[in-house]
A and B are shown apart, each in its own frame.
Chain A
Amino acid sequence: MENLLSVQNLTKRFGPVTANDGVNLEVRKGEIHCLFGENGAGKSTLSSCLYGYYRADSGVIRFKGEVAELNSPADALRLGIGMVHQHFVLVSNFTVLENIIVGSAGTGLFLTKSDARRKISELCESCGLSIDLDREIWELSVGEQQWVEILKALYFGAELLILDEPTAVLTPQQSDQLFRILDGMRMRGLSIILISHKLREVMQSDRVTILRKGRAIATVETSETTAEAITALMVGHKVSKHVRDRSVEPAGEVLAVDRACAIGEWGEDILKDVSFNIGRHEILGLAGVAGNGQKELFETLMGVRALSSGGFSLEGEAITKPTSREMLDRGIGFVPDDRSLEGLIPEFGAAENLILGWQRAREYCRGPFLDRRKMDALARRKIEEFKVVTASADLPVERLSGGNAQRIILAREFLHSRGLLLANQPTRGLDVAASEFVYEKILEKRAAGFAVLLASEELDDLLRLCDRIAVIFKGRIMGIVRPEETTLLELGMMMAGDAKDVQRTVQ
């Protein structure tokens, strides 16, 4: 088979960081080629270079045998390289049609929608997609939004489609559907670069190139290798995965949520009759596709979002009208999913971020004044204990890597919490080693008697860490299951709301 794309010796640096270091890559016509690697291995940077979003510092990219000068996405699109971004780049109050045609190389002053409409309909048909072109993006499900992204690329006549972590926001079943669509596109001669860090998906591709620390380690035929071999190549060394200690049994009741309901901006149900409890020495997993109410559940428990009805109790004490102040004072630790927005002050250093929420606590103050000495001592201790890599305790945390920023949040929450820890996607964007560090710390808390609510998109992780797993869909708990009594398939069905047969709740 001929090569559609070949990359030779591509290097891309950001200041002192080398994101891609002499990468070689060849993609054949009509194949699904997986770029596999940990977070931070340089997958996204490589794809951005292929798409002309970043300009490579050195190296040669050939497309259809000719050297491609990729100075902007426009060059890539003209050649036939399209990209589907991990975080969709859509205008939420434009219609599907408008999103697809905006900036297209049409001529003339006026918007001529009819031609575009016909062309897109044809594309939909050939891919087996069905979507209403006149609905606005915010009305669509996440899966449908992804189709819009794919249509955008195809509308420009892409022959090579790059998908960046396309299944991060999908249920296992939706992922399967996506792969069926991709398969159909491959049959029509399109090439697909699939960026992923999930083994399940890698094994569905034709070939896989493994990236580690910015270098392409190897390219192998998927049919001639095993998942274990690929993982070994990706990580480079063995990482021991933590599992919960089954000899410690959950007991008692720390948090009990009783028929909690919350209503959104347009009167829609965000949370509907959510009930569950967590005991001491227990990790309750929360599984669900992003945007099904997990964030809002955490926000209500932290007192930054009001419940419309129902309530919850902590250590047997009913909480009415909670504020974030009260919840902090009651000793709840909270690791938010969007750490830069909700967990950290980007311009502050580690020292000041470590007392965020406790800037008036007696431990760190003398009257109205902050006690710098105590803050600095704390920062020194925690930076060492949590192995935070930072030039100084005052270096703004916006300059730190995601893993180091997360360590600061963990250090703060573990220090100030007593009894209950709420962690929403604590390993998002972290590499395997950093993720395991986070899990290790969470398991330590479980051993110490904490109740933990842990939401994650990594189902495999939930299965090995949690005592029970609750599945949330459209603000409802579809069921609570024990990891040893369930399967990925069952979890996936519940995450898709299709839980008629499996709905059950274990105490």
Chain B
Amino acid sequence: MLELMQGPLLISILAAMVRIATPLLFSAMGELVTQRAGIWNISVEGTMLLGAVVAYVVASTTGSPWLALLVAVLACALISLIMSFVTIVLKAEQFVAGLALNLLASGLTLFWFQTYVIGREPPKFAGFEQVDIPFLSDIPILGPVLFSQRALTYVSFLLPPLVWFFLYRTRYGLEVRCVGENPKALDVKGLGVGRRQCLAIMFGSLMSGLGGAFLMLGYSDRFVPDLIAGRGWLVVVAIIAGNWMPFRIVGAIFIFALLEAVGIHAQVVGVAIPHHVFLVLPYVASLALLAGLRSRTHQPVALGIPYSRE
């Protein structure tokens, strides 16, 4: 293991960690806002998948990754209306609605994949390019790790502070947290609970779509049905393990990302351990994190409880 820790390899691992963390950060910050509004939305996995599919379709037909990103985000925002309708209007069990959405997403994807992708010439399209930030990228170690990434990665750095600021320092953030803690407190002041939850779901969904689209466009030009491979669930784990606090969630995400990065490099370097061990690490780690970090003090009190007046 010693050689793993040496210069270029270490930098490569850390850079991989940062890029692996990017889509997770997008999804997690979106899902955090959703959950803080009291919606136990477990459809992150499915939404990320839909984002990736839409991004692939648009990118392979138009060739423009940015347009693909935009359409994917819009599509996921639109899809979120299903979740909103089922949970806020019909007041169905939120877990069941999320599960249904996940199954729908994977089913539709499989059908689409078998119809359009499998057995055909893979389309050529350009994903996102690496953007080196002048000067900063020349700093040893930190430069290649943090400042030679895709443009969206830089955006993802800004996201946790922005979400924190939104939740704790703006009027709307206070209202969102209020909806998650005690929706009636807002309702008795005549402010719509459903509308705020709907918007929170939409935000979460479009950020998950963004994460999925980035996963597709950032580093690969091929689509596989298990592209998301549980990352949406890791996001939910990160939120619970991070006790619904933005920066702790970032911490949990970087643990997952680091494990995956190490796994990738272990395969390349060729360690005498079956590579499956490395692949499974993030999932084992997620159970360990949940068992270890049991503080739920910032869990929204009304999380998962449909709100109705009577």
Whether B181 pairs with A109 at a CB distance below 8 angstroms is no
CA distance A75 to B190 in the complex (A): 7
CB of A74 closer than 8 Å to a CB of B: yes
Whether A103 pairs with B169 at a CB distance below 8 angstroms is no
A158 to chain B, nearest CB (A): 12
Known contacts A52-B190, A102-B178; is A109 also within 8 Å of B185 by CB?
no
Contacts of A102 in B (CB 8 A): 174-175, 178, 185-186, 189
Contacts of A72 in B (CB 8 A): 190
Whether A73 pairs with B190 at a CB distance below 8 angstroms is yes
Which among A54, A98, A109 has the greatest number of chain B C-beta atoms within 10 A?
A: A109
Whether A83 pairs with B188 at a CB distance below 8 angstroms is yes
CB of B61 closer than 8 Å to a CB of A: no
CB of B301 closer than 8 Å to a CB of A: yes
Known contacts A102-B174, A108-B171, A111-B171; is A73 also within 8 Å of B189 by CB?
yes
B190 to chain A, nearest CB (A): 2
Known: A74-B190, A106-B171. 10 other contacts (CB 8 A): A14-B310, A77-B190, A99-B185, A102-B175, A102-B186, A102-B189, A103-B178, A103-B185, A104-B189, A109-B170
- Hey, which bits of chain B sit against chain A, CB under 8 A? 169-172, 174-175, 177-178, 181-182, 184-191, 301, 309-310
Whether B181 pairs with A103 at a CB distance below 8 angstroms is no
CB of A386 closer than 8 Å to a CB of B: no
Whether B171 pairs with A53 at a CB distance below 8 angstroms is no
CA distance A398 to B213 in the complex (A): 46
A70 to chain B, nearest CB (A): 10
Contacts of B188 in A (CB 8 A): 51, 53, 73, 83, 85, 89
Which among B171, B172, B181, B189 has the greatest number of chain A C-beta atoms within 10 A?
A: B189
Contacts of A156 in B (CB 8 A): 189
Whether B182 pairs with A76 at a CB distance below 8 angstroms is no
CB of A348 closer than 8 Å to a CB of B: no
A52 to chain B, nearest CB (A): 7
CA distance A111 to B177 in the complex (A): 14
Whether A94 pairs with B178 at a CB distance below 8 angstroms is yes
Whether B186 pairs with A92 at a CB distance below 8 angstroms is no
The 8 Å CB contact of A109, one of B172, B301, B310, is B172
Contacts of A76 in B (CB 8 A): 190
B21 to chain A, nearest CB (A): 28
Whether A91 pairs with B189 at a CB distance below 8 angstroms is no
Whether B189 pairs with A109 at a CB distance below 8 angstroms is no
Contacts of B301 in A (CB 8 A): 92-93
CB of A110 closer than 8 Å to a CB of B: yes
Known contacts A75-B190, A89-B182, A90-B185; is A110 also within 8 Å of B175 by CB?
no
Contacts of A103 in B (CB 8 A): 175, 178, 185-186, 189-191
CA distance A110 to B185 in the complex (A): 20
Proximity bits, A36-77, B CB within 8 Å = 1, else 0: 000000000000000111100000000000000000111111
Whether A91 pairs with B178 at a CB distance below 8 angstroms is yes
Chain B's closest residue to A98 (CB) is B174
Contacts of A108 in B (CB 8 A): 171
